[in-house]
Amino acid sequence: MNQKKELVVVALENGTVIDHIPSDKLFKVVSILGLDKLDSQITIGNNLSSKKSGLKGIIKITDKYFESSEINRIALIAPNAVLNVIKDYKVVEKQKLTLPDQVCGIIKCVNPKCVTNNQPIETKFHVVDKESINVKCHYCERMIEQEDILFNS
């Protein structure tokens, strides 16, 4: 069992492994990163046991490297995920995620009367609290707590 799990992680020649994603957030991460629209080989593991905490998910993407602006979006829902950059079967970089100060486009405002929900406008949110992940709509100024954050489909 253990051996098998290692294999899942290690058997990537070049690409990115995103590890330590809480199991219930895995498919959200997939959609936020737009992996469903990617041509690369992708392996997804979920409900794996984790030494750190509970059940985790893991995503391996062959021949794909992310810009930090791209990858940091998932810090909104999986702030403890770890990014491994793999080159020639080796982990050449281990990256912790950092929450950006501003998030454009991916969050949907919860306020139905917000201008972004009624006009063709890209949303923009300020991250006001990086600990508890509270965001504030740049336009209608509504504060949104982490559990209430909605993502654009």
Partner 1 sequence: MNVKSLVSITDYSKEKILKIVEAAERFEVNPNQDLLKNKVVATLFFEPSTRTRLSFETAINRLGGRVIGFSDASNTSTSKGETLKDTIIMVSNYADLIVMRHPLDGAARYASEVSNVPIINAGDGANQHPTQTMLDLYSIKKTQGTLENLNIYMVGDLKYGRTVHSLLMAMSHFNPKFTFIAPDELKMPEEYKRFCYEKGIEYREMSELNDISEADILYMTRVQRERFLDLVEYEKVKNVYTLKKNMLEGTKENLRVLHPLPRVGEIAEDVDESPKAYYFQQAKNGVYARQAIICDALGLI
If one asks whether residue 141 binds partner 1 (CB under 8 A), the answer comes out as yes
- Select from 55, 92, 104, 115 the one that contacts partner 1 (CB under 8 A): 115
Identity of the residue, 36 or 147, whose beta carbon is nearer to partner 1 in the bound complex: 147
- The answer to whether the beta carbons of residues 75 and 82 sit under 8 Å apart is no
Six-digit token string for 24: 């219930």
If one asks whether residue 106 binds Zn ion (CB under 5 A), the answer comes out as no
- Identify the bridge partners of residue 85 per DSSP, sorted by sequence position: 16, 93
The distance of closest approach from Cβ of residue 145 to partner 1 in the complex, given in angstroms and rounded to an integer, is: 11
The distance of closest approach from Cβ of residue 138 to Zn ion in the complex, given in angstroms and rounded to an integer, is: 8
Q: Residues, the chain, total?
A: 153
Residues 120-139 that bind Zn ion (CB under 5 A): 137, 139
CB atoms within 10 A of CB 137: 21
- The answer to whether the beta carbons of residues 150 and 110 sit under 8 Å apart is yes
Six-digit token string for 71: 């990858």
The position carrying tokens 């899942």 is 8
Residue 113 interacting partner from partner 1, Zn ion, none (CB closer than 5 to 8 Å by kind)? partner 1
- Select from 114, 133, 135, 144 the one that contacts Zn ion (CB under 5 A): 114
Give contact residues for partner 1 (rule: CB under 8 A).
111, 113-116, 118-121, 137-143
